[in-house]
Amino acid sequence: MKLPAALSNLTEWTDHLFTRFSARRGWLRPLQIDAYRSYGTAAKFYIKGRLLADPGLTAATATDSRWRNFRSMVRRFNSREVAGADLVAELPDGSQHLVTTDDEGYFTLVIEPHALPAPVAYLWYPVPVRVARLPQFLKLPTEAIATDAAVLVPPASAEFGVISDLDDTVFETSATNIFKMLGRVLFSNAQSKQPFAGVAEFYRRLQRGRNGLPDNPFFFVSSSPWNLYDLLDEFLRLHEIPTGPLLLRDLSIARPKTTPPPGVTGSAAIHFAHKLHEIDDLLTTYPRLPFVLLGDSGQEDARIYREVVRRHPGRILAIYIRDVQVPARALLVGPIVEELGRENVPMLLVADYATAAAHAAELGLVV
């Protein structure tokens, strides 16, 4: 067994041991289903979530101390997940769909509905999910452990979809500097983070497109771990950035989803493989929908998006890469801009979102 896989298995075994110990001592907090915003079509829903104990987080404020933010972050990552539990998703047609949580408490469902449920918000459709059976060591009632999964279904009037990164694209993370990045992640919260100037307005214009209706679906693909889901979701809502599925990454280091191109290794390979896999799935799910891609020069976004263009010719309307002001990273983007230009796919390296918005208006993507 390779060392990364062995370390991952050891971590999972230790988590299970602590969960069992906490349950037997009566220390385990109430269980909850975290159903992540997902996406689908009139014919197929994708649902993902996690069963775990309530981490005990309190509402964040902009004045929270760095120590309080750090303690909240520790609670997010020190999760007590529940493996081997049976969950049931039920649609209005009466059909029930069973899924069992994996070793880290995650579950994934693919459902083919006979009819769409009534939307609870524009573009969003609810799917009730509940616990049907818990592992034997958890002597708890299951009736109250339930939630609704929200599934985004783009309307027929959608002009294009938008796929965006988050870190250093929507807000500053300083991913090119590990110490700055850790400081920003560990000691901030959704209230204290600030988006880049103009990003919220530009994204809302993209969502409205040419017809002025908020029909164009947004998808956020990030290498941030699922543990940060609540923080990122709250941040988007606070700053009125279009709500969309957050497609984050399982922290397990033993689960590659796809193989990155030659020469991409280490942490970059994990980042590359995750994002390419999720974007491939999106473009396959919506074969008639073109897309706009947004990222930054700090990591691998330009190379990932070049690979997306290769795999899905004719599907990408424009690519905007925010310049993180690291000259060495900008130099890597230049050749890709030229290469995609020869394929009539505009990619811009931009210092601000006003420049991106002006270019999108010239293309006729926004008004």
Given 118, 152, 186, the domain boundary residue is 152
Decide the pairing of beta strands 246-249 and 218-225.
parallel
Domain that holds residue 141: 27-152
**Residue segments in the chain with a per-residue pLDDT below the cut of 70:** 1-16, 18, 20-27, 175, 252-267
In this prediction, residue 254 carries a pLDDT of 47
Task: Give the SS3 label for residue 297.
Answer: coil
In this prediction, residue 220 carries a pLDDT of 98
Please, is 70 exposed, middle or buried when counting C-beta atoms within 10 Å of its C-beta (0-12, 13-18, 19+)?
middle
Domain co-membership, 253 together with 358: yes
**Is residue 257 within a helix (H) or strand (E), and if so which, with residue range?**
none
Domain co-membership, 309 together with 175: yes
91 inside domain: yes
19 inside domain: no
Q: Outline where DSSP puts E strands in 134-170.
A: 146-152, 161-164
Instruction: Give φ, ψ of 305 to 5 degrees.
Output: -70, -35
Domain co-membership, 94 together with 199: no
Tokens of 100: 């069992």
CB-based contact 210:367 (threshold 8 Å): yes
264 inside domain: yes
Give the contacts of 227 (CB within 8 A, at least 6 positions apart).
Answer: 76, 77, 79, 251
Domain co-membership, 145 together with 165: no
Given 152, 182, 206, the domain boundary residue is 152
Tokens of 25: 């001592």
Domain co-membership, 214 together with 351: yes
CB-based contact 10:256 (threshold 8 Å): no
Domain co-membership, 115 together with 186: no
In this prediction, residue 118 carries a pLDDT of 78
CB-based contact 191:62 (threshold 8 Å): yes
CB-based contact 61:81 (threshold 8 Å): no
In this prediction, residue 197 carries a pLDDT of 95
Domain co-membership, 261 together with 337: yes
261 inside domain: yes
297 inside domain: yes
CB atoms within 10 A of CB 236: 23
Domain co-membership, 234 together with 292: yes
Decide the pairing of beta strands 86-90 and 96-100.
antiparallel
Domain co-membership, 211 together with 328: yes
Instruction: With CA atoms as reference, report the closest residue to 47 among 3, 93, 113, 139.
Output: 113
15 inside domain: no
Task: Give the SS3 label for residue 43.
Answer: coil
Domain co-membership, 125 together with 168: no
Instruction: With CA atoms as reference, report the closest residue to 235 among 62, 102, 11.
Output: 62
In this prediction, residue 46 carries a pLDDT of 95
Distance CA 365, CA 289 (A): 14
Instruction: With CA atoms as reference, report the closest residue to 125 among 95, 88, 150.
Output: 150
Given 122, 152, 182, the domain boundary residue is 152
Find the distance separating the first CA and the last CA of the chain, reported in whole Å: 56
Distance CA 220, CA 275 (A): 10
In this prediction, residue 122 carries a pLDDT of 83
Tokens of 352: 């601000």
CATH of residue 329's domain is: 3.40.50.1000
Percent helix, strand and coil across the chain, each to the nearest 5: 35, 25, 40
**Is residue 151 within a helix (H) or strand (E), and if so which, with residue range?**
strand 146-152
118-127 pLDDT, tens per residue?
788 788 999 9
How crowded is the C-beta side of 365, counted as CA atoms within 13 Å? 26
Domain co-membership, 122 together with 186: no
In this prediction, residue 184 carries a pLDDT of 82
CATH of residue 32's domain is: 2.60.40
Domain co-membership, 144 together with 236: no
179 inside domain: yes
Distance CA 293, CA 163 (A): 5
Task: Give the SS3 label for residue 25.
Answer: helix
Task: Give the SS3 label for residue 1.
Answer: coil
In this prediction, residue 173 carries a pLDDT of 84
Query: Measuring CA to CA, how many Å separate 4 from each of 1, 26, 178, 223, 254?
Result: 9, 33, 21, 18, 6
In this prediction, residue 4 carries a pLDDT of 43
56-104 pLDDT, tens per residue?
888 899 889 999 999 999 999 988 899 999 999 988 888 899 999 999 9
Domains of the chain: total: 2
